[in-house]
Amino acid sequence: MSAETENQAGRLELDENLDLTAVAPLHQSLLSARGGALVVDASQVDRVGAQCIQLLLSAKKSWGDDDVPFHLEAPSETFLSALALLGVEPESLHVKEATQ
């Protein structure tokens, strides 16, 4: 994502707890952001379930189908571990590592 596109992108900060109860609110947040570039901040995620990962993968595909940038930024170790456990490559969500 270019710096200009990133500056124009919407941001969504994921909650610490992405369990089953977080699926509906996350879905609503994603629907609200649809149509524009989106950067999803996963730095605070402390617990994540497969349903939220599935929802994020579906969102990534939807953004891709719309030819609109979608990136997951600064994933926590917990988030990355959940991806690995499910056999999902971070690149599937266009993960951008935190800059130090």
Range of the domain at 15: 3-96
Residue in 63, 54, 65 with CA at minimum distance from that of residue 26: 54
Other Cβ atoms less than 10 A from the Cβ of 66: the count is 12
- Domain holding 92: CATH number? 3.30.750.24
Give the pLDDT band of residue 3 (cuts 50, 70, 90). Answer: very low
How many domains, in total, are found in the chain? 1
CA 2 vs CA 5, 28, 63: distances in Å: 5, 27, 16
Cα–Cα distance for residue pair 4/30, rounded to 1 Å = 22
Q: Which two tokens stand for residue 93?
A: 């969500």
Distance from C-alpha of 10 to C-alpha of 22, rounded to nearest angstrom: 20
Q: Which pLDDT does position 81 carry in this prediction?
A: 95
What digits encode the pLDDT tens for the residues 24-44?
999 999 999 999 999 999 999
pTM of the shown model:
0.85
DSSP one-letter string for 21-46:
GGHHHHHHHHHHHTTS-EEEE-TT--
